[in-house]
Chain A
Amino acid sequence: MTQPANSQVNILEVQDLRTEFRTIDGVVRAVDGVSFSLKAGETLGLVGESGCGKSVTALSILRLIDPRAGRIAGGSIRFEGRELVGLDEAAMRGIRGHHISMIFQEPMTSLNPVLTIGTQIAENAARHLGLGKKAARGRALEMLDLVRIADARRRLDEYPHQLSGGMRQRVMIAIALACNPKVLIADEPTTALDVTIQAQILELLAEIRQRLGTAIILITHDLGVVAETCDRVIVMYAGRMVEAAPVAELFRVPRHPYTRGLMRAIPRLDLDAEGEGRRPRLTEIGGLVPSLIRDIPGCAFAPRCALAGDRCRSERPPMLDVGEGHRAACFEWAHGFEGARRDAGQAEGVR
């Protein structure tokens, strides 16, 4: 995918974001020092396994963390130069759904069951664009056409339960785009959908980016989705960033042992046709994700990493430049692929 021309401006800059939740057992550092920037019209992938902090990062950007459960403990989120951390709630409500929108994983439960599709799209436009009732409804119709929902005029007066999962996710996208936002955050938008529908939704998102120039943060645990859709990728582990790179670069030379582990966990259909028809055995990453309650002094991945030395356990690795626009939080990144082989062998031994 090529980037649109106006891609040089950073519209969103996240610096050292830290988000915490209070629990009975202690403070959970769900997001711990995440930094990245997003250029206009760019698609940025946020990858990692469940609980790695990618959704919390997204909710933090929109300041949707329930204050009774957690808070942004530090860092900065700048949207078009304007600081969002500490911005008052009223101003924040003017940004949500207007300049930064979000779509969620569960299309079945993310739409209000007792309001019509039309109302749910139109209220966005009415609120942020100051449209009257009729104009807002017109806008809703336009949006349904944009997300390719057939028979849009009839659908406007229908309720979510009358729509399929794929259609509901299209409606969610229509709601999110109703005010032409600069940034669209898509939190696992296809996870709950059938494979064929997944492809359609991803295609729709790509098309929207082309047509409207919306920058997209795509949160997913699916590296295949990332490879197809994103320009750049950030890999997260245990609330921290472990690697950031342009998508082709990441797949060519993954530098962080965790990223390499993730890639080995993807089934390779293409290898099946060649050779003797034997696929390489899938390897999982040995060990468990650490608890985020206690402070991890060194690298969060060190306990599961075959390359980890004493320094990795005592000192937190910063994001190091490891290539063109490619950074990884690993002291041992230079071990590269020969390291990868070795750690596969040793991880086997660990179990």
Chain B
Amino acid sequence: MVSYILRRLLATIPVMGVVAVFVFFLLRLAPGDPAAIIAGDDATVTQIAAIRAKLGLDRPVLEQFGLWVLGMLQGDFGTSIFSNLPVSRLIAQRVEPTLALALSTLLVAVALAIPLGVLAAAKARRLTDRLVMLFAVMGFAMPVFLIGYVLIYVFADRLGWLPVQGYKPLSEGIGPWARHLVLPSLALGITYMALIARITRASMLEVLSQDYIRTANSKGLATGRVLLLHALKNAAVPIVTVIGIGIALLISGVVITETVFNIPGLGRLTVDAVLKRDYPIVQGLIIVFAGVKVLVNLMIDISYAFLDPRIRY
């Protein structure tokens, strides 16, 4: 197992290398010149050239790439073109809201979706099942921003139960922090919840028709034990897989959700940087997101071995 984890960690190096190549060159292919944007509309050609030289944009592309990768290996993600602040510091400042939003979304979605999916499977083809699946289809069909605005309108604007927008750091107390997270987590989580609930139901239904479930029932075990231990543990591998896939969805969802709810996180940083063509920030963010994704994948692969004793590495 340990050697498997080490091998998998080593295998992430080429993956991250490929990501770095794509990020760097795709951004260079995109239209728009940051030097021209910084210099402003009335700038002369020499002014623009001076800015290009200062940013290192006049050097050969391969050299720029090499310097960027070398820097990252030393923890230096470059400097923002516009604010002159180190990218690593900018990212670090924005990590807390995004991490809080992503984790609370994950928690809310998984904690609600799995029981809903199990319930739907246990009551397959009955009213409960139909209602859960109706909710799942609707949740999956609605875009995050629409759900977000509807939630804001109902719970913040009309009922006034929760704040409309914004974010309070955890350091200002857990109450305000949590209150600000409820609506964004729900908005972001509903799609995700719908996806997990559907997979849970499908996976559970398949497991419930297996011989060993009949055995469990023939032992007179309580329904809860049959469903949650005998069935759910067998149904877990596809569910965990889809939770992992969902984390990719979550990353794109975070960008939209942070905009709708005006949360100063990585999503907002990404949008602002892309609009301003602040290459170093965009590159750094994509590398960070990709790294998270690769690690999540690794964790999921490892979790299989704990869920199913037949899987050995």
Interface residues of A (CB under 8 A from B): 62, 64, 68, 92-98, 101-102, 104, 106, 109-115, 123-124, 127-128, 159, 161, 172, 175
Contacts and interface: CB of A to CB of B under 8 A. Distances in A.
A101 B217 CA distance: 10
A64 B214 contact: yes
A110 B219 contact: no
B233 A97 contact: no
A62 B218 CA distance: 7
Interface string B105-128: 000000000000000000011000
Interface of B: 124-125, 210-212, 214-223, 225, 229-230, 233-234, 307-310
A112 B212 contact: yes
Contacts of B211: 104, 106, 109-110
Contacts of B229: 115
7 contacts: A64-B218, A113-B212, A114-B308, A114-B309, A124-B219, A127-B225, A175-B219
B240 to A, nearest CB: 13
A94 to B, nearest CB: 6
A25 B307 CA distance: 41
Given A64-B214, A104-B211, A172-B215, A113 B308 contact: yes
A93 B216 contact: no
A113 B310 contact: yes
B245 to A, nearest CB: 22
B212 A111 contact: yes
Nearest to A98: B220
B82 to A, nearest CB: 54
Most buried by B among A64, A111, A115, A161: A115
Contacts of A161: 309-310
Nearest to B209: A66
A109 B212 contact: yes
Contact of B219 (A96, A106, A109): A96
A172 B219 CA distance: 11
Contacts of B214: 64, 104, 110
B220 A96 contact: yes
Most buried by A among B215, B218, B229: B218
A111 B229 CA distance: 13
A159 B220 CA distance: 21
Given A104-B214, A109-B212, 9 more contacts: A93-B220, A94-B220, A97-B218, A106-B211, A109-B210, A109-B211, A113-B310, A114-B234, A114-B308
A150 to B, nearest CB: 21
B129 to A, nearest CB: 11
Q: What 8 A-B pairs come out closest when comparing CB atoms?
A: A96-B220, A97-B219, A97-B220, A109-B211, A112-B212, A93-B220, A159-B309, A102-B218
Contacts of A172: 215
Contacts of A175: 215, 219
Most buried by B among A62, A93, A101, A111: A93
Contact of B222 (A68, A93, A113): A93
A112 B215 contact: yes
